[in-house]
C-alpha cells in the first residue's frame, strides 16, 4: 500500500465529527482512491482512528464490528437503528472535502 495514500485516508477519517459518519466511497472521493482501497486501509490500519465513523453506503458495518460501533454511536449521539446508521448522520463529499481543505492539509502531500 502507498504510505501517503494510507495517511491521507486516515487523516480524512479523523476529521469526521462526532455523531456523523461517512461512506467508504465518500472518503475515497476526497482521498482520490477507491472505496475498496479505503476498506483495505480501514481493515489494516483503522483501529487507530475513529473507525466507527466509516460505514458502507447503506449505513452498515460488518457484523463482527457492528456491536462495538453501536456503543460508540450511542455515546456520540449518532442517529442509528438496530440495523444501520440513519441517513441524517452522513456527511456528503462536499462536506468532507470542505473539512479536509479547511484544515490546511495539502491534498498532494497527504
User: Domain 3-93 carries which CATH code?
Assistant: 1.10.10.10
**10-residue block means of pLDDT along the chain (110 residues)?**
95 97 98 97 95 96 93 97 94 96 62
Q: Which pLDDT does position 106 carry in this prediction? A: 53
What confidence score (pLDDT) does residue 109 get?
A: 43
CA 81 to chain CA mean position, Å:
19
pLDDT at 1: 87
Whether the pTM exceeds 0.75: the reply is yes
**pLDDT value of position 103:** 84
Amino acid at each position: 500500500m502507498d504510505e501517503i495514500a494510507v495517511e491521507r485516508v486516515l487523516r480524512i477519517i479523523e476529521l469526521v465529527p462526532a455523531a456523523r459518519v461517512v461512506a467508504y466511497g465518500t472518503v475515497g472521493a476526497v482521498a482520490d482512491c477507491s472505496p475498496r482501497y479505503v476498506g483495505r486501509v480501514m481493515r489494516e490500519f483503522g483501529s487507530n482512528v475513529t473507525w466507527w465513523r466509516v460505514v458502507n453506503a447503506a449505513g452498515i458495518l460488518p457484523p463482527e464490528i457492528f456491536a462495538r460501533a453501536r456503543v460508540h454511536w450511542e455515546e456520540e449521539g449518532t442517529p442509528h437503528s438496530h440495523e444501520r446508521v440513519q441517513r441524517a448522520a452522513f456527511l456528503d463529499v462536499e462536506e468532507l472535502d470542505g473539512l479536509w481543505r479547511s484544515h490546511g492539509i495539502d491534498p498532494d502531500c497527504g
